[in-house]
Chains A and B, each alone.
Chain A
Amino acid sequence: MLRSGPQVLRRAVVSMGLDSTGAQHAACLQQTRGLRPRKPFGLGLAKSKWFILPRKPDHAQDEWDELDRLEQRYKHFIESISQFCIEENLKHAAGSAEAGQRTSEDDDEWAESLTLIKQWNEEVAAKRNERLAMERKAKEEEIQNQLMEAERLREQKLQEIEEYIRKEKELSKTYITPENIDKAIEECLEKVVDYNWAMDARGQKYVGRYVTISGEVELPVADTVEEDSLPPLFQSSPSGSSFRRQP
């Protein structure tokens, strides 16, 4: 079926109800060649195969017996050889009686290797001590620097605190205390701050109100500012500007 081309496959898939829009997925079907669409398992055995029983292969009994004999023989040998190998390994492994026996050659080699290891250890120790001394020196320097830095920071902090105290002392002259509280209240009552003022685009301030709260009419006294000192009310675009509207 697969050799017949994608058309047949597509038709088959649609007829099985697996994919109702087979034409849309023709490219996908082409890619998934190895996946042959199969019947769902729930359908069960086909009706045409209901009453057909596959015949069992009818071989001569001695053939089965012979195959059985050869297999058993093979398994016996495999078991024996693997057991032999395990025992051999145990015999020559570390911790066995053979490994416990030592000769003079072994002892010589052992002593030689020990001296060699000692020599190496000394070499390495010298290098290590040198490195450790350098490291210790650097560490000491670092600690000294840290101490100096800490001292500097402490002095700076003290200076800041002293400055703060000095400022506070200066400010404390104007504090309201129980002695001068009546005076301060009177002052506050006398000095009325009126925020009812306005300002135009040029920064000209217009202060006061025409009618006071108590109903008195009062003309404000504006700060007289010269007209020339103020910026122009409507600024024309700067002549040197690169932005020009095209006619």
Chain B
Amino acid sequence: MPYEIYGKATRWCGKPLWEILGNLKNHGVGRIIIRNETKLDYKEPSWYRVLKVQAIPPEGKVQVLPPVVDMGEVRRVRALVDVVLAGTYRGQEWLSTDTYISDFRLIPKEEEEIFTKVKKGELPPKFVDPNIFPTTAAFPPLLKELIIQDMKNRGTFTGEEPLLPMKYAYPVRVAQEGEIPTVDMSLGLGKTASPRLYANIKKT
């Protein structure tokens, strides 16, 4: 009989993490777990290798409104994993908050090397951020003028333009000594990856 799937489209597909780890020998330490969300996002394989597992008691039923979604018996688990995202190693991480989501899948032992594309027990190369952010940037024009005036009043102005020491709101790769920053943090909108969005803008 033909059938039609109805409902809100989610990015989740699979089982909660405890349902997988709780039924495995030694709580699945050393096994490979994947998430459907990361599978949708990246072409390269993304996976977790389980290192340590701590059980947490079930928390009862949880209903999310609206729309009414019965999450059933919610049970989380704390698990220390090696995170591999988009084919690069991102370090170790404790999973716990999102483990009740039915989004996890176990990779069979025979398919592990085929999926991860590395030998068993090995890890892919560590992730290196290609975006190198500068340590300093130019001040906004008015603030710059104010600072120069202030320096002149104090007699500390040497003719060099003052620079704003950058403090980044998110963790980024900041240029070390000898590194050339690749991200343009000069005044304006910066360097865009998709120039077509700015193609029709006319200068007046």
- The chain A residues found within 8 Å of chain B, CB to CB, are 51, 53, 62-63, 65-66, 69-70, 72-73, 75-81, 83-84
Contact = CB atoms under 8 A, between A and B. Distances in A.
A76 B168 contact: yes
Interface string B142-168: 010000000000000000000011111
A75 B169 contact: yes
A80 to B, nearest CB: 5
Contacts of A72: 169-170
B175 interface: no
Contacts of A75: 169-170
Nearest to B68: A44
B166 A80 contact: yes
Given A83-B165, A84-B164, 5 more contacts: A51-B6, A73-B190, A76-B166, A80-B137, A81-B143
A65 B169 contact: no
Contacts of A70: 189-190
B85 to A, nearest CB: 17
A62 B194 contact: yes
A72 B8 CA distance: 30
Nearest to B196: A62
B24 to A, nearest CB: 36
A218 B3 CA distance: 132
Contacts of A77: 137
Nearest to B183: A73
A80 B189 CA distance: 17
Given A51-B6, A70-B189, A76-B185, A83 B194 contact: no
B26 interface: no
Given A66-B197, A69-B190, A76-B169, A81 B8 contact: no
Nearest to A83: B167
B168 A79 contact: yes
A66 B168 contact: no
B3 to A, nearest CB: 14
Most buried by A among B140, B168, B169, B192: B169
Given A66-B193, A66-B197, A81 B140 contact: yes
Contacts of B190: 69-70, 73
B131 to A, nearest CB: 10
